[in-house]
């Protein structure tokens, strides 16, 4: 997930403000957090699945929204896991 440009951020911000009255408070908070956490998500995507020496990789699926199943094995053998998708979920 690339970090939003200034124009993309403004468009997403305007959409969030426009839909604010239609959503619950919790959904509005989630949308706001998702809008401002792009740099954090980018960093998590770079770390998740990073290869370590001797055939191991880093797994931080527990910190990500759409990684199912979430597992607590922070260092695991390299492989094709169901939670190894390349991007974290993006909200609307």
Q: What is the pLDDT of residue 81?
A: 79
Query: Mean pLDDT in each 10-residue stretch from start to end of the chain (92 residues)?
Result: 84 94 93 87 86 90 75 85 67 50
Annotated domain spans of the chain: 1-47, 49-79
Overall pTM > 0.85: no
The DSSP result for the chain, as a single string, is -PPPPHHHHHHHHHHHHHHGGGS-HHHHHHHHHHHH-HHHHHHHHHHTT-EEGGGEEE--GGGSTT-SS----SEEE----TT--SS-----
């Amino acid at each position: 997930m690339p970090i939003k440009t200034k124009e993309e951020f403004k468009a997403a911000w305007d959409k969030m403000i426009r839909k604010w009255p239609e959503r619950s408070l919790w959904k509005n908070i989630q949308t706001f957090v998702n809008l401002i956490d792009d740099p954090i998500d980018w960093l998590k995507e770079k770390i998740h699945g990073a290869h370590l020496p001797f055939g191991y990789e880093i797994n931080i699926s527990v910190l990500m929204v759409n990684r199912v199943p979430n597992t607590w094995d922070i260092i695991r053998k390299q492989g094709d896991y169901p939670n190894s998708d390349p991007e974290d979920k993006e909200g609307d």
